[in-house]
């Protein structure tokens, strides 16, 4: 005995074979006897349609369509595998992924080529002279600062030479030396962190193009030395005798 379908199940089957999707149409065909089925005992119970009877109706309306559908859904034994014995579902998916990968690689190669062309175009742009000079000045300053290394002894001689005074106290000179140099005899970082071409003095707050000029003014301020011969230290102008 074949499967028994209700009205909506029968409509769904007819829809699969492109006949109708409307339950009211199927109900009319049942009442007209085009589809064989016993009349329903009550509205609650509804139509009871044998699947074989419904298939006979489909065959009349769409001759050989059922056979075509069945042949399409039942592949032959050889159609499950490709020539290498790999199941077709995996073989087809592999081919699809290979094609997608090739497409992505092609796009990447094009993008890399575009970026290289863009970079080449930047190389042709001439940097303004002001920027070049600023860069060169910064490089020259960096190289010049690397050569500023003083021991305490050589630093003392520099201060004596620039100020003309030789009787500095050793402890005071050491304190003055530490204002500029680290223990490894290199300049402190905050002296170097200034605009290109200048040294920054932590004592006077001024900027000088040469370290020697910076030290002379700093020593005058640090030790309270007169700026000119017979001139008193800053703040002691009234101490000179008439």
Task: Return per-residue pLDDT of the chain as tens, 242 residues.
Answer: 689 999 999 999 999 999 999 999 999 999 999 999 999 988 888 999 999 999 999 999 988 888 887 776 544 444 455 555 555 556 666 777 788 888 888 888 888 888 888 787 766 555 555 555 555 555 555 555 555 778 889 889 989 888 888 888 888 889 989 988 888 888 787 776 666 667 888 888 888 877 787 888 888 888 888 765 444 444 443 333 33
Token pair of 129 as six digits: 């002279």
Please tell me whether residues 116 and 96 are part of one structural domain. Answer: yes
Q: What does the alpha-carbon distance between residue 158 and residue 211 come to, in Å, rounded to a whole number?
A: 10
Q: Residue 241: inside a domain, yes or no?
A: no
Please tell me whether residues 159 and 208 are part of one structural domain. Answer: yes
Please tell me whether residues 31 and 101 are part of one structural domain. Answer: no
Domain tally, the chain:
3
Q: Residue 238: inside a domain, yes or no?
A: no
pTM, two decimal places = 0.35
Please tell me whether residues 148 and 194 are part of one structural domain. Answer: yes
Please tell me whether residues 165 and 220 are part of one structural domain. Answer: yes
Contact in structure between 169 and 175 (CB atoms under 8 Å) = no
- Structural domain for 107, as ranges: 78-125
Please tell me whether residues 204 and 227 are part of one structural domain. Answer: yes
* β-bridge partners, 181: 187
Map residue 5 onto helix, strand or coil: strand
∠ Cα 153 157 160 (to 5°): 135
Please tell me whether residues 113 and 170 are part of one structural domain. Answer: no
The H-or-E segment that residue 98 falls in is: helix 88-123
Please tell me whether residues 223 and 164 are part of one structural domain. Answer: yes
Burial class from Cβ neighbours inside 10 Å (0-12, 13-18, 19+) for residue 199 reads: buried
Q: Which residues fall within 8 angstroms of residue 204, CB to CB, at 6 or more apart?
A: 214, 217, 218, 221
Q: Residue 221: inside a domain, yes or no?
A: yes
Q: Residue 60: inside a domain, yes or no?
A: yes
Q: Residue 194: inside a domain, yes or no?
A: yes
Q: Residue 160: inside a domain, yes or no?
A: yes
- Of the three residues 73, 98, 114, the one that is the final residue of a domain is 73
């Amino acid at each position: 005995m074949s499967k028994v379908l209700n009205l909506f199940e029968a409509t769904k089957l007819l829809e699969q074979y492109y006949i109708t999707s409307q339950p009211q149409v199927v109900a009319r065909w049942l009442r007209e006897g085009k589809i064989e089925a016993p009349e329903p005992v009550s509205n609650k119970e509804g139509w009871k349609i044998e699947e074989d009877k419904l298939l006979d109706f489909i065959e009349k309306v769409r001759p050989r369509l059922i056979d075509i559908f069945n042949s399409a859904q039942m592949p032959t034994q050889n159609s499950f595998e490709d020539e290498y014995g790999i199941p077709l579902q995996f073989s087809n998916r592999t081919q699809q992924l290979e094609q997608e990968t090739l497409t992505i690689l092609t796009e990447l190669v094009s993008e890399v080529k575009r970026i290289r062309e863009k970079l080449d175009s930047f190389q042709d742009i001439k940097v303004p002279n002001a920027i070049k000079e600023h860069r060169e000045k910064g490089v020259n300053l960096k190289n010049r600062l690397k050569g500023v290394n003083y021991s305490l002894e050589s630093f003392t001689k520099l201060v004596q030479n620039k100020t003309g005074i030789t009787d500095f106290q050793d402890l005071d000179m050491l304190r003055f030396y530490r204002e500029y140099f680290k223990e490894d005899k290199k300049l402190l970082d905050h002296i170097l962190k200034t605009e290109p071409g200048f040294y920054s003095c932590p004592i006077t707050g001024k900027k000088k193009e040469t370290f020697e000029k910076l030290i002379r003014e700093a020593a005058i301020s640090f030790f309270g030395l007169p700026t000119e011969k017979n001139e008193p230290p800053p703040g002691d102008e009234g101490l000179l005798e008439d």
